[in-house]
C-alpha cells in the first residue's frame, strides 16, 4: 500500500476523530480478507 494512501487514511481518521488503532485493526482485517480470497481462488484452479 502506498504511503500516500495511508497518510490520507490517517488524515481522514483524524478529521472524524477515529483512533488510529481502529484503522490498524481495519487494515489488518482487509488484508486478511484479501489473503483468504486469494487462497480460495488458488484452490479452485
- Domains in the chain: how many in total? 1
- C-alpha 29/C-alpha 21 separation (Å) is 12
Q: What's the pLDDT tens digit per position in 15-44?
A: 998 888 888 888 899 899 999 999 998 887
The alpha carbon dihedral of 43, 2, 18, 24 has a sign of positive
- Contacts of residue 18, Cβ cutoff 8 Å, sequence gap at least 6: 12
Domain containing 37 equals 3-44
Q: How confident is the model at residue 45 (pLDDT cuts 50, 70, 90)?
A: low
Position 1 scores a pLDDT of 55
pTM comes to: 0.52
Amino acid at each position: 500500500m502506498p504511503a500516500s494512501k495511508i497518510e490520507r487514511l490517517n488524515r481522514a481518521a483524524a478529521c472524524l476523530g477515529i483512533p488510529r488503532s481502529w484503522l490498524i485493526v481495519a487494515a489488518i482485517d482487509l488484508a486478511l480478507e484479501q489473503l483468504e480470497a486469494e487462497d480460495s481462488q488458488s484452490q479452485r484452479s
